[in-house]
Chains A and B, each alone.
Chain A
Amino acid sequence: MHLPTEQQRQAMKPTRWVLFWRRFFPYQLFRFVLINLRMTAMILKSHR
């Protein structure tokens, strides 16, 4: 039997569903666009 360590027990762990979305190509393409938009907003805000 594998018992989790204290560090493992207390931390939030991703579900299989979360791990799937992190690599799911169409969804990641959408996130790619969104993250770039966010970064562009940050760049514009910081270059005033």
Chain B
Amino acid sequence: MARVVILGAGISGHTAALILRRKLGPTHEVVVISPNSRWNWIPSNIWVGVGLMSKEDVTFELALVYRRAGIDYRQAKAVELHPEGNADAGSPFVTIEHTSPDRKGEREDLAYDYLVNATGPKLNFAATPGLGPEGHSLSVCTFDHASETAKALKTAIERMRKGETLTFLVGTGHGTCTCEGAAFEYVFNLEFELRNAGVRDSARIVFLTNEAELGDFGVDGLQIRRSGYVVASSTFAESLFVERGVEWILGAHVSRVDAQQVTYETLDGETHTLAFDFAMLLPPFTGVGLRAVDSRGEDITAKLFAPNAFMRVDADYTQKPYEEWLPADWPKTYQSPHYPNIFAVGIAFAPPHALSRPRKTKNGTVIAPAPPRTGMPSGIMGRTAALSIVDMIRKGDKKPTHTASMGDMGAACIASAGAGFWRGSAVSMTMYPVVPDYKRYPGAGRDLRHTVGEIGLAGHWIKRILHHLFIYKARARPGWWMIPE
């Protein structure tokens, strides 16, 4: 009997767990460790953040689903990896710390045959003084954060109805943030809801981003064929911002958030301040800070993890300039190069480099969007690692049998720009591959037949359908496995 332990129950971890459970017979054990008791469809948090959805609409209890699926679930967080075991235990194990109210703080050593690290990110609000719900800005990264943001928005709307004019600031709270798409979605849903509330004329809305161009999205932007031209995504993004009356500030590193004022440095090295009444700023991500220890008790964290605390996998981590970055640098199997029974998927794996061109100010401040590893690519990675582990257990394969490189993987993304069956809209984008490949696709870096984008009502319908479809799948309802990632 083999035991597979999965750390994390986000999109990649949960996908891996369900696939492993379905493909492995009942003689094998699948264990999920997650500090959260609820699964969260994070793409819909933006709708929680404007008050259109509740926590219950975007989450469900993990324990119920795992009990039904036959997956052992512990509400806990992993704190220490022992990939070689220790003097007492010859086999590898992970030390977990329970987070459920009845066992809070209790530690347990859990042996494993295979480990999938899908912990996702640590929301690093501490990187910028004053950033985050415990400081002076709001967030939509978790359903609790999004609920608080919705309350703050409601209060702001009441103030505007009483005659005040307010400044709304939305964007990234640090120069190295990722998930610019979430900030993009939030700013347009905010604008749409202010219009619905009849207070749009009393609001100044500013989008502040670490992207050097609008529409970069951490993937170095897109080139799209339109009306006989190949056009940069920034052209379409700017058009939408102007149409909706949203101002923008590009290439910005937020260095400090005070009560109602943000301080930021731009790519020209100048420092600016901006007063706000409402700020939703996303934090940068780091790994969750797992410690790794070898059989002699020596700390091997730096061997398993990159300095940003994400886990090293089968990527090429050689430092090289932007011009030399290749799709081949990106991992294919997500297997640890040091321990073949450990995989890291989703946000938890260390990317070899960014996708967007990295930039520095004259003061040496790095302003570079980090590469996104969420959504569809994240689910595909979870599936890939799970299928490889199944073959390693059942067929005795020595090497991973499945691959899914972001250099040969596409992505479909629907970015909401306002919710409503008749009046809503969303930007529908597909891109192939995620990592630009200028050798295969000179000029654009991506296949122009498969890299497309458009805005319209249809996009909103799709976003809404995907919300229900993926929650259905995550609940492991009948036929869930037929729904692709």
A residues in contact (CB < 8 Å) with B: 5, 7-8, 10-14, 19, 21-23, 25, 28-29, 31-32, 35-36, 38-39, 41-43, 45-47
B457 engages A46 (CB within 8 Å): no
B242 engages A11 (CB within 8 Å): yes
Among residues of A, the one whose C-beta sits closest to the C-beta of B242 is A11
* Nearest CB of chain B from residue A41's CB, rounded to whole Å: 7
Within 8 A of A (CB), among B338-360: none
State whether the Cβ of B51 lies closer than 8 Å to any Cβ in chain A. no
Write out the residue numbers on chain B whose beta carbons fall within 8 Å of the beta carbon of A14. 239, 243
Write out the residue numbers on chain B whose beta carbons fall within 8 Å of the beta carbon of A38. 412, 428, 430, 450, 452
A13 engages B239 (CB within 8 Å): yes
Write out the residue numbers on chain B whose beta carbons fall within 8 Å of the beta carbon of A7. 238, 241-242, 247-248
> Helix, strand, loop or mixed for chain A's interface?
helix
* Nearest CB of chain B from residue A31's CB, rounded to whole Å: 4
Q: A11-B239, A14-B239 are in contact. Are A31 and B412 (CB under 8 A)?
A: no
CA distance A12 to B240 in the complex (A): 9
Write out the residue numbers on chain A whose beta carbons fall within 8 Å of the beta carbon of B456. 21-23, 28, 31
> Helix, strand, loop or mixed for chain B's interface?
mixed
B241 engages A31 (CB within 8 Å): no
Among residues of A, the one whose C-beta sits closest to the C-beta of B428 is A35
A31 engages B239 (CB within 8 Å): no
Q: A11-B241, A13-B242 are in contact. Are A45 and B410 (CB under 8 A)?
A: yes
* Nearest CB of chain B from residue A35's CB, rounded to whole Å: 5
Among residues of A, the one whose C-beta sits closest to the C-beta of B430 is A42
A42 engages B411 (CB within 8 Å): yes
Among residues of B, the one whose C-beta sits closest to the C-beta of A30 is B458
CA distance A12 to B234 in the complex (A): 10
Q: A23-B423, A42-B411 are in contact. Are A31 and B430 (CB under 8 A)?
A: no
Beyond A42-B430, A46-B380, A47-B484, 17 additional contacts (C-beta under 8 Å) are: A5-B247, A7-B241, A11-B235, A11-B238, A13-B242, A23-B457, A25-B457, A31-B454, A31-B456, A32-B458, A35-B428, A35-B459, A42-B410, A43-B484, A45-B450, A46-B411, A47-B383
B243 engages A13 (CB within 8 Å): yes
In the A-B complex, list the 9 residue pairs whose CB atoms are closest, starting with the nearest. Answer: A32-B458, A11-B238, A31-B458, A42-B410, A11-B242, A28-B457, A39-B412, A22-B456, A28-B458
CA distance A35 to B404 in the complex (A): 23
- Chain A CB within 10 Å — which of B236, B247, B422, B457 has the most? B457
B484 engages A35 (CB within 8 Å): no
- Chain B CB within 10 Å — which of A5, A11, A14, A21 has the most? A11
Q: Interface 1/0s, chain B 434-464, versus A by CB < 8 A?
A: 0000000000000000101011111101100
CA distance A41 to B430 in the complex (A): 10
CA distance A25 to B179 in the complex (A): 31
- Chain B CB within 10 Å — which of A8, A14, A47 has the most? A47
Write out the residue numbers on chain A whose beta carbons fall within 8 Å of the beta carbon of B422. 23, 25
State whether the Cβ of B409 lies closer than 8 Å to any Cβ in chain A. yes
Interface CB pairs A-B, < 8 A, 9: A5-B247, A11-B241, A13-B242, A14-B243, A23-B422, A38-B430, A39-B428, A42-B411, A47-B383
CA distance A23 to B423 in the complex (A): 7
A42 engages B450 (CB within 8 Å): yes
B462 engages A32 (CB within 8 Å): yes
Among residues of A, the one whose C-beta sits closest to the C-beta of B434 is A46
Within 8 A of A (CB), among B62-110: none
Among residues of B, the one whose C-beta sits closest to the C-beta of A10 is B238
CA distance A38 to B410 in the complex (A): 11
CA distance A19 to B243 in the complex (A): 10
Contact pick for B409, options A8, A28, A39, A46, CB 8 Å = A46
Contact pick for A32, options B241, B242, B461, CB 8 Å = B461
